Chain A
């Protein structure tokens, strides 16, 4: 075989393998989504949202407690995580812009984004569960907030950095103090971007399970008391999937479907907003 032909064959094989790799990525996505959809739809009913769990082993019942608990935990986490993240990002992009401190905090946040979420769970257990002697909803919310903060902080920093400096100078020239420039000019310019960052961070924590296992724990009863253990969808899925009952499995699948749809919907929404706002570019 001459060298030309060999090169062409190698080229063909390599490109085919790459294309197959891309196909396999699509394959897993379709496989997983279709599976969740098919298994989940069977368990979806009005009762799932309106009824509390039946006693173990009994048919029927729903996951009202877990839906409400999940909403409460996520809402409190957002209320803690978003202000801290947005303010922190503001400091990095404005007051400490270009300083070494800003670089360091930025890098630490990037690392923090990927720190195992189960470690965050053990940390919150040590500071908010052990001292009080019982699992509680606040602890779960704090654990999720800790995961949210670096995500929101980094997106805020990026989004504020993209607001042109000349815009700020124009406001300075009118005699505005820096805080007014930030709140009235910079935040307005970056509002869409920050909002998207917040959305994506909510999507990120909505599916988190590991940090809730030892903080908000679980509760088979309907409860609005954040001082007590509170059920969440994800922990319920874990418990039900590992449990012995067919009806539990069906409900775990249904809950999985709801969470997947919620997370994917928000993710896609975030991407669309970013595309509309910042053009096709590189997704920013």
Chain B
């Protein structure tokens, strides 16, 4: 398609559109460079391994380490995925295999609306509605049941306040359910009907068809969807900022207030009064950017692979 090069206006228009599309790549590289430049003082002072393994986060003594925030991010992300994945896959199974046709539309729309609600609304609801419920009913209940078990019980120690890892993870899981569910649903739909029908023909039950035909067939896509949700969960800010407490200590129980990278940034960025403090926060942002970029690229890789395999 070289013919358009002959017309000067075409040349100009293709150049303008080209610049516009390359801007995305420029932006992402620009973000990376800017974050590195701003965090250089902190990288110089604290190193890489040392920064990641240091617990202290002390603006007064000007000692900064990422371990507590990294742990907070890891715990909330892992817990929220653990809550969200089974429910999301259940929703996808319901929508594609079980639901009568007249229900498919409304449930699909409801899931999409859940994804459209801004994260700050989740945060508001979490702080004023969910946290008190957690504090008064759910956490004492968990403490008096699972909390009595050996070992696992240790996770449920402390005074339930509602502002803690468990509440934050729960809100986060509600936020990522729609992403996982819609990717899983789209992957399930790619299973050729004839394969499913063959399974039904030999007498398989619906669950057996889902478990032995649909799930194996769509596992790449579902996995991609899970990794995509992981990427979203790592970077989510406002939904957890309200209910995590921004506490830079190593959490010992799910009922402890904690901090994630995003929560620290949201709470402390405008209050950073020294250069090294701000630089350390940029260092956290850099780590977050690299983590989420790798996660999202992995997700994209799996989704593309799934797409390639089924669309031929």
Chain A positions near chain B (C-beta within 8 angstroms): 7-8, 10-11, 14-15, 17-22, 24-26, 28-29, 32-33, 35-36, 39, 83-85, 87-92, 94-97, 104-105, 107-112, 114-123, 125-127, 146, 149-150, 153, 177-179, 182, 203, 206-210, 213-214, 217, 234, 237-238, 241-242, 249, 252-253, 256, 259-260, 263-264, 267-268, 271, 282-283
A-B contact count (CB 8 A): 277
- Most central of A116, A126, A209 by chain B CB within 10 Å: A116
- Most central of A25, A127, A178 by chain B CB within 10 Å: A25
List the A side residues contacting B107 at CB < 8 Å: 22, 25-26
Beta-carbon contact of B265 and A111 below 8 Å: no
Beta-carbon contact of B123 and A267 below 8 Å: no
Cα separation A75 to B96 with both chains bound (whole Å): 39
Cα separation A203 to B262 with both chains bound (whole Å): 22
Closest CB-CB distance, A229 to chain B, in whole Å? 11
List the B side residues contacting A26 at CB < 8 Å: 107, 110
Closest CB-CB distance, A173 to chain B, in whole Å? 12
Residue B69, interface by CB 8 Å: no
> Looking at chain A's contact residues, is the secondary structure mostly helix, strand, loop, or mixed?
helix
Beta-carbon contact of B114 and A29 below 8 Å: yes
Residue B292, interface by CB 8 Å: yes
List the B side residues contacting A267 at CB < 8 Å: 112-113, 116
Beta-carbon contact of B288 and A116 below 8 Å: yes
> Residue on B with the closest CB to A257?
B121
Beta-carbon contact of B120 and A234 below 8 Å: yes
> Looking at chain B's contact residues, is the secondary structure mostly helix, strand, loop, or mixed?
helix
Closest CB-CB distance, B42 to chain A, in whole Å? 13
Beta-carbon contact of B24 and A149 below 8 Å: yes
Beta-carbon contact of A259 and B121 below 8 Å: yes
Beta-carbon contact of B300 and A105 below 8 Å: no
Cα separation A185 to B74 with both chains bound (whole Å): 50
Closest CB-CB distance, B61 to chain A, in whole Å? 24
Selected contact of B128 from candidates A91, A217, A249, CB within 8 Å: A249
